[in-house]
Structure 1
Amino acid sequence: MPGTNLTRDEAATRAALLDVTSYSIDLDLTTGDKTFGSTTTIRFTASEPGAETFADLVDAIVHEITLNGVSLDPATAYADSRITLPGLQADNELVVRADCTYSHTGEGLHRFVDPVDGRVYLYSQFEVPDARRVFTTFEQPDLKAPFTFNVTAPDHWKVVSNSPSPEPEPLDEADESGKAVWRFAPTKPMSTYITAVVAGEYHEVQHVYHGKHGDIPLGHYCRQSLVEHLDVDVLVELTQQSFAFFEEQFDYPYPFGKYDQLYVPEYNMGAMENAGCVTLRDEYLPRSRQPRSFYEFRASVITHEMAHMWFGNLVTMQWWDDLWLNESFAEWACYWCEAEATEYTDAWTGFTNARKQTGYRADQLPSTHPIAADNVDLHAVEVNFDMITYAKGASVLKQLVAWVGLDPFLAGLRQYFKDHEFGNATFADLLVALEKSSGRELEGWAQEWLQTAGVNTLTPSFELGADGTYGAFRILQTAAPEQPTLRRHRLGIGLYDAVPGSGANGRLVLREYIEVDVEGAETVVAELAGKQQPDLLLLNDQDHAFAKIRLDERSLATVTAGLSKLDDSLARALVWSSAWDMTRDAEMSATDFVRLVLANIGAETDAWGVTRIPTYAALAVNAYSAPEHRGALRAEWESGLRELLLAADPGSDHQLTFTRSYAAAAHSDQAFADLEGLLDGTWAVEGLAVDQDLRWALVTALAAAGRSGEALIAAELGRDKTIAGKEKAAAARVAQPTAEAKAEGWRAILDPGTPNETCREMVFSIFRYGQEDVIAPYLEQYLEAADTVIDTLGFHKGSVVLEFGFPKALGSPELIERVDAWLAGTDAPKGAVRYVNEGRADVARALAAQARDAQA
């Protein structure tokens, strides 16, 4: 039985048979707090009268089904999430009246009650296949149609959809029930997954963007309890900058009339590009001091979703095989827009320091896959919707832009939008447009980059003359045996020299930059022959390529002695990346990497470098250091962070980040006394605001150490009675090093009734390094849960548990052996097996790194 799955072949058969004329959807949100009324009318044509097909509807109580005026018995017609539609006519009308179920997992129509004031908030989340949880659909992206929503809700609510919000109409002027109906105008043709309904007691602010193609109304919405945190002026400015940039670069007017951005609670994703009705996590409206990297990331999310209005919404993939292209393009475009049109001009440096690293990691896991995955059905889509799709895909598109040139790339893109507006297309269609505009053959490039998996490593190889000049210079390219493809790379090479400065340490300055095409196992770089060897030779300077790079012996010594001497932030990011790759690959010791960070992070200027690199060092301390060195390295890391936070400029991002890192690293009596002093005010650091989020970080660190218990957590929750406070309290409770705390936390994590974000916070907090004795039983409990958790919690929530709940702190050869036995005999779902395999791979990598660190 298909259940909620749908195969690509089924979708193709249905698309060949049907053409959808329109949807009309009536939702009644006043029927209770468990279900809502959903009546769908679909008008469509069939190319083969007499044929049979099916419509999609999930988790509903179906009251009536009428096809072309003939009643179908729901007891027989509706089964296994499908409605059978026999005896089609040339022109058809399907009417389905049902009660659908509110979600608490973020799939379908999510319902949330704010604990601060009891107000109700609803929002939809439909990607990939969840519109069918709210109304009857043909749930596939290539059956586009106009949608008309009519929504009944309490008359004091805000109701927002893809079309502009109309004035609510009382249901009956004589009726004093307080209900009204919002009758939205039909939308442009669009796919089911980008339709949206958001309703509740939202706060609303309206502005207008006056663009080159006309005015675009801009709405911003949030919960009433977050109004003071809605920095709407900043958000409007960023939105206007992005619109001006994209409308100019894409040479196509914004296609959906108005543009609302709604910050919603308990979101299971970052944001969603619903046409003209973008939903975003309301954690993006921070209540406490955040570093610049937070706002830089939020900007990338906002620009990412806007890019989708053209790439994904105006022109939509035919099937989910091209989901990678949809997300990779928006990911590339968001950083491009940030760097060119907003205050975040160094966005590509942040990309290298943070986002790109997630792509490198994903591409070295056993679950790696080609960017253009073979998504034979919806289950495959769910498994392949990952950082290969986003981070590696964006990196490869950046390489494509370098390969063909930005102007030809844009010319092809503009033609693609015009040729396929409001329709569906494939990557082959885009490739045709790009080949025509650039004059370059791209099928071979697409084959090696998009249809193979794995990341290459590029290493300099050379001979030096007696005068210190290069003789022959080569770039060696290697690949992992299991992913052996060698690729073409458009690559920059930077030669940096140490020059004396006014300070004692001098600077590292770029002497020369060249670009070359790398191909095969060995590429000779004739341009470098006869050049004086620099102090730092940097492969992939400017970061066009997606590849791991290695530093030669002299270059590594140069940056070890003083990476902070390198003025260029992107060049530094590439060095950080190389050092971290070498540490993960057991070529650099964890001890050396941690010391590199302590010596240089205080002078780092990139916002993402400041906040993300200490997390890499913390992982090196906890997982990659040799057990016999770990105690000493933990002490060195802790004391180094204390020095860094005290030396940081008052009120700076460095100070905040180092304080958070110090709290997470605390293990000595001195450190615990500091944390307690920050909490109760007996220790003050100039410029450091101990606000609510930082207080929870301190409370959680003390709880994890067993230095505080329920009393401190409850007292803090008394100060912070918000949903965020409840989530942080739950995380602090499961952090405690007691069997009782772990047992209660694990039970709550596996409970379908635990809200999304609460579950996520608990999973991140429960299995900690240094608590191995108390978490020892949880390898078996995790493996037992892997059999069922996706079914019981839903894919999104279950995936969070499986990905982040693997007890990596128990890493040992014995764990590897036990997991291998489980993998050999399991019949768990494919998604669950994937995450177990990834956890095993992380442990295996950590054990190899520990062996390398033992040699330090």
Structure 2
Amino acid sequence: MPGDNLTRVEAQERRALVSVDSYDVTLDLTTGAEVFRSTTTVRFSATAGASTFIDAFTRTVHSIELNGAAVDTSAADGVRIRLDDLAEDNVLTVVADAEYTNSGEGLHRFVDPVDNEVYLYSQFEVPDSRRVFAVFEQPDLKATFRFTVTAPAAWEVVSNQPVESRTAGEGNSSTWVFKTTPRISSYITAIVAGPYAKVESELASRDGRTIPLGIYSRKSLSQHLDADYIFDITRKGFAYYEEKFDYAYPFEKYDQLFVPEFNAGAMENAGAITFTETYVFRSKVTDAIKERRVVTILHELAHMWFGDLVTMKWWNDLWLNESFAEWASTISTANATEWTEAWTTFQAMEKSWAYRQDQLPSTHPVVATINDLEDVQVNFDGITYAKGGSVLKQLVAWVGEDAFFAGVAAYFKKHAWGNTELKDLLAELEITSGRTLTEWSKLWLETAGVNTLRPSFETDDSGNFTSFAVLQSAAPDYPTIRPHRLAIGLYDLRGGKLVRSHRVELDVDGERTEVPELVGMARPDLVLINDDDLAYAKIRLDDDSLSVAIEHLKEIESPLARALVWGSVWDSTRDAETAASDYVKLVLGNIATETESTTIRTTLSQLLLVARQYVAPADRAKTIEKVGSDLWSLAQLAKPGSDAQFQFVKFFAQIASIGDHVSALRGLLDGTVVLKGLTIDTDLGWELLEGLVLNGAATSVDIDAALEKDNTANGAQAAARARATFATSEAKVAAFNSLVDSDELPNAIVRNTALGYQHVNDPSSLEAVVDKYFAALNDLWKSRSYHIAETLIVGLYPAPLASQSLVDATKAWLAANPDVPALRRLVTENLAGVERALAAQAADVR
């Protein structure tokens, strides 16, 4: 990585010297395609005579003026500007040229291939407002911000605050002046500019204000924007949060902007939220994606209070920022929208992510040690989001939902526009709940790892329990045994359904917890530990319950209970306790009638991984063939037009492997094979074509023809993915070289090329890139921005090989490169996935 890191010690030292009052930022976006002019005036106080630095990523610094005196531009090194002999009150003005990016960091520039229009948007979290203006880049140096932007007159320009004035300039330009923001952190400021199409509305806040609402998208996508639905979800979120937080929306407007080539799902810029434009649905999407969009909208809205109004002092509390939004968006989705099974989705998607992340060698406590910015970047992970959200759910149960919301409301009132630490929130929750949270925090937030819970019981000759206990274990490296509040469900087959006949709720603590309430009861067909998903823990089924699940999971009526069983067997398969072939049997035998879209999507994704990497290598090809054939059969039998039918076709296209599969794909694509209720729209057409490419049944000419019909950003990304999917060593090397030899490709093309590169049924084509991969790692880390480097280091790792030789090569690189912690973490996580696959393969042979 470039020399752009900031350590916590540096931030603390700077915070001790400096307090920032305001920024006045003027940007000229009419200076060409590579750079823009950035003029920043900062007013701040400091310890008299002190020296410090301000962050500024620049191509050229034209002038620096401090307290009326010129500072030699040699004080700027392109990353920081040295500031010496400060006064008690200071005014600094920096005039510089800053660079547009194509990496989704800083001020991203995109040219729409449909109409050649230019679109810009900013993305500043974690440390990238410094790519646009000179700034003290740390969250606890809050200030007010006033933005002035010159841009083409035909554009829309959006920032955090409403427009104060707009004047015509030279040529076809205009200058927008935005109202001054409240005191906020630099990472949630925003600039979005371009000929965006805009839809306007408004809502009434609880304090009587009218809040203007805006939704923006590229002109070429605007006909697909379902603005009315997005406004409806937004209004429901406002009403829910303003009531539960007992605090009116803290900003003056609420714009939601769908922007191209975005790296994440969304970003909580104050009053100007940016979203990935994949949430503008130009083709049919699964219900899982529709629900995810709702959760994301409500996630970012929750941040307006938790994160924007009240902000963490340093990034070690990033987890609290994101975990709160995860929990809040899930409970609001479940209680305020039509997506009432949101907690089932949370279990199927978020918790599975958390359990996976918590078992990696890089796992860490929820409250992580964040020494510098590189630590922050790699900690945007399943611990920060999903485990944290799960733990907060437990905290809500521990203190009570009403007490939790009351504590949060008091926290917002007490710390509005300030910076806080975890202890500040816990202090308010202790007051409203009357509970002491020190021990809870120590066990759940300050230790790493996930516990495993399993039933242990004996029965008499009549089949009644004579003893029942819950056993708890922990990974040897993370041996903490924790208290859990959970339920145990007993399920019996009755009238063709697997129904819960009894439930007991209890506290589990220690390595063995007796459950006397179950002694004397008849042993059921299936025992489900952690029924209703109250606890954060992996759960195991006893052998007989697993056998029943494999045959009858589909007959469980509760979607949440089904999700828990799906997750339990997936965990035990990953841990090489359940044979991979049994997991395949479970999925193919029970997925047909699953009703929850996210459960289907998550489970089928796991099925494909199991078929390709977890089954015994000798059985891989026949397993892939069976999965493909069964998915095609499921698609043909599914209800016409259903979400399940749509998903079965999509996953069939991903794993098609034999001539009959190719014929089906080609028939769907050319219209000679028709499934009632299924429309082959543009995006599904690309997926079918990629399946043909995977099998050598389509050529580059076919990809070019598809791109000519779909000459859009989405089309270019799909074409890049398809080209990287060709199943030859030459194609994989070409895809690898296209990403490594040049840094000119934008982030979305990089990401999709990496997806196609890893799309294989026979992984042997990736053997040619193993040595090239390890040879390139250090240069990639040093020369690319963080998000691009991470995409390449994870996306180009030839994980599908899942071989001992890949393990050996990875360990050799790690042994030879001990000094780059963040890079080593990514490589170590790659290695852990392969080692887990090898253990699963060995278990499947037995």
Shorter-chain TM range is over 0.9
Mapped partners of 1:846, 1:248: distance in 2:
48
Partner of 1:291: 286
Alpha-carbon deviations, 1:728-754, whole Å to 9, x = none?
Answer: 111111111233322321122222111
Matched, 1:780 2:771: yes
Mapped partners of 1:342, 1:419: distance in 2:
30
Mapped partners of 2:698, 2:420: distance in 1:
58
Q: Could you say what secondary structure the match of 1:588 adopts?
A: coil
Matched, 1:616 2:610: no
Matched, 1:10 2:10: yes
Greater Cα shift, 629-638 or 295-304: 629-638
Greater Cα shift, 98-107 or 350-359: 350-359
Partner of 2:456: 461
Tell me if the contact between 2:655 and 2:761 (Cα under 8 Å) persists in the aligned partners.
Answer: no
Mapped partners of 2:759, 2:244: distance in 1:
47
Mapped partners of 1:695, 1:499: distance in 2:
43
Matched, 1:479 2:479: no
Matched, 1:197 2:191: yes
Structure 1 residues 597 and 222, CA gap change in structure 2 (3 angstroms): same
Q: Could you tell me how far 1:389 is from its partner in structure 2?
A: 0.6
- 1:31 partner amino acid: T
Alpha-carbon deviations, 1:448-486, whole Å to 9, x = none?
Answer: 111111111001112223333222221111011111111
Mapped partners of 1:525, 1:482: distance in 2:
28
Partner of 1:361: 356
Partner of 2:97: 99
Tell me if the contact between 2:260 and 2:276 (Cα under 8 Å) persists in the aligned partners.
Answer: yes
Q: Could you tell me how far 1:2 is from its partner in structure 2?
A: 9.4
Tell me if the contact between 1:453 and 1:483 (Cα under 8 Å) persists in the aligned partners.
Answer: yes
Greater Cα shift, 661-670 or 247-256: 661-670
Alpha-carbon deviations, 1:770-789, whole Å to 9, x = none?
Answer: 34332212111111221121
Alpha-carbon deviations, 1:202-248, whole Å to 9, x = none?
Answer: 00110011232232111000000001111111111111111111111
Structure 1 residues 2 and 809, CA gap change in structure 2 (3 angstroms): closer
Q: Could you say what secondary structure the match of 2:531 adopts?
A: coil
Mapped partners of 2:22, 2:212: distance in 1:
26
Mapped partners of 2:623, 2:694: distance in 1:
19
Partner of 1:640: 630
Q: Could you tell me how far 1:601 is from its partner in structure 2?
A: 0.5
- 2:260 partner amino acid: P
Partner of 1:185: 179
Greater Cα shift, 207-216 or 275-284: 207-216
Tell me if the contact between 1:787 and 1:828 (Cα under 8 Å) persists in the aligned partners.
Answer: no
Tell me if the contact between 1:208 and 1:216 (Cα under 8 Å) persists in the aligned partners.
Answer: yes
Tell me if the contact between 2:624 and 2:761 (Cα under 8 Å) persists in the aligned partners.
Answer: no
- 1:217 partner amino acid: P
Q: Could you say what secondary structure the match of 1:386 adopts?
A: coil
Tell me if the contact between 1:5 and 1:379 (Cα under 8 Å) persists in the aligned partners.
Answer: yes
Q: Could you say what secondary structure the match of 2:369 adopts?
A: coil
Matched, 1:33 2:33: yes
- 2:484 partner amino acid: H
Partner of 1:597: 587
TM-score by length of 2: 0.98
Q: Could you tell me how far 1:827 is from its partner in structure 2?
A: 4.9
Q: Could you tell me how far 1:279 is from its partner in structure 2?
A: 0.3
Matched, 1:832 2:803: no
Mapped partners of 1:827, 1:644: distance in 2:
49
Tell me if the contact between 1:152 and 1:180 (Cα under 8 Å) persists in the aligned partners.
Answer: yes
Q: Could you tell me how far 1:80 is from its partner in structure 2?
A: 5.8
Match 1:140 to one of 138, 141, 144: 138
- 1:550 partner amino acid: R
- 2:253 partner amino acid: K
Tell me if the contact between 1:621 and 1:630 (Cα under 8 Å) persists in the aligned partners.
Answer: yes
Q: Could you tell me how far 1:56 is from its partner in structure 2?
A: 0.8
- 1:769 partner amino acid: V
Q: Could you tell me how far 1:15 is from its partner in structure 2?
A: 1.4
1:305-704 correspondence runs (5 A): 305-500=300-495, 506-704=496-694
Tell me if the contact between 2:59 and 2:78 (Cα under 8 Å) persists in the aligned partners.
Answer: no
Q: Could you say what secondary structure the match of 1:787 adopts?
A: helix
Q: Could you say what secondary structure the match of 1:99 adopts?
A: strand
Structure 1 residues 97 and 316, CA gap change in structure 2 (3 angstroms): same
1:59-138 correspondence runs (5 A): 59-75=58-74, 77-79=75-77, 81-138=79-136
- 1:757 partner amino acid: A
1:263-302 correspondence runs (5 A): 263-302=258-297
Mapped partners of 2:445, 2:736: distance in 1:
39
- 1:793 partner amino acid: R
Mapped partners of 1:498, 1:770: distance in 2:
38
Tell me if the contact between 2:160 and 2:269 (Cα under 8 Å) persists in the aligned partners.
Answer: yes
Structure 1 residues 670 and 604, CA gap change in structure 2 (3 angstroms): same
Tell me if the contact between 1:271 and 1:279 (Cα under 8 Å) persists in the aligned partners.
Answer: yes
C-alpha RMSD of the superposition? 1.4
- 2:150 partner amino acid: T
Mapped partners of 1:429, 1:673: distance in 2:
62
Matched, 1:304 2:299: yes
Mapped partners of 1:147, 1:635: distance in 2:
59
Mapped partners of 2:675, 2:337: distance in 1:
33
- 1:108 partner amino acid: G
Q: Could you say what secondary structure the match of 1:40 adopts?
A: strand
Tell me if the contact between 1:366 and 1:838 (Cα under 8 Å) persists in the aligned partners.
Answer: yes
Q: Could you tell me how far 1:167 is from its partner in structure 2?
A: 4.4
Q: Could you tell me how far 1:709 is from its partner in structure 2?
A: 0.9
Partner of 1:734: 724
TM-score by length of 1: 0.97
Mapped partners of 1:355, 1:366: distance in 2:
19
Q: Could you tell me how far 1:767 is from its partner in structure 2?
A: 2.9
Match 1:753 to one of 733, 744, 748: 744
Q: Could you tell me how far 1:41 is from its partner in structure 2?
A: 0.6
Alpha-carbon deviations, 1:495-534, whole Å to 9, x = none?
Answer: 222212xxxxx11222232221111111122222222222
Partner of 1:503: none
Match 2:246 to one of 251, 257, 268: 251
Q: Could you say what secondary structure the match of 1:595 adopts?
A: helix
Q: Could you say what secondary structure the match of 1:209 adopts?
A: strand
Mapped partners of 2:163, 2:630: distance in 1:
55
Mapped partners of 1:817, 1:213: distance in 2:
63
Q: Could you tell me how far 1:118 is from its partner in structure 2?
A: 0.7
Tell me if the contact between 1:621 and 1:633 (Cα under 8 Å) persists in the aligned partners.
Answer: yes
Q: Could you tell me how far 1:554 is from its partner in structure 2?
A: 2.9
Tell me if the contact between 1:155 and 1:168 (Cα under 8 Å) persists in the aligned partners.
Answer: no
Mapped partners of 1:261, 1:728: distance in 2:
26
Mapped partners of 1:286, 1:465: distance in 2:
58
Partner of 1:815: 806
Tell me if the contact between 2:733 and 2:768 (Cα under 8 Å) persists in the aligned partners.
Answer: no
Mapped partners of 1:2, 1:710: distance in 2:
37
Matched, 1:770 2:756: no
- 1:185 partner amino acid: K
Tell me if the contact between 2:94 and 2:134 (Cα under 8 Å) persists in the aligned partners.
Answer: yes
Tell me if the contact between 2:569 and 2:583 (Cα under 8 Å) persists in the aligned partners.
Answer: yes
Stretches of structure 1 lacking an aligned partner (at least 5 in a row):
501-505
Alpha-carbon deviations, 1:784-817, whole Å to 9, x = none?
Answer: 2211213322101110111222101222112212
Mapped partners of 1:107, 1:828: distance in 2:
26
- 2:398 partner amino acid: W
- 2:177 partner amino acid: R
Q: Could you say what secondary structure the match of 1:117 adopts?
A: coil
Tell me if the contact between 1:3 and 1:80 (Cα under 8 Å) persists in the aligned partners.
Answer: no
Report the number of matched residues. Answer: 844
Partner of 1:240: 235
Match 2:222 to one of 222, 227, 238: 227
Q: Could you tell me how far 1:260 is from its partner in structure 2?
A: 0.2
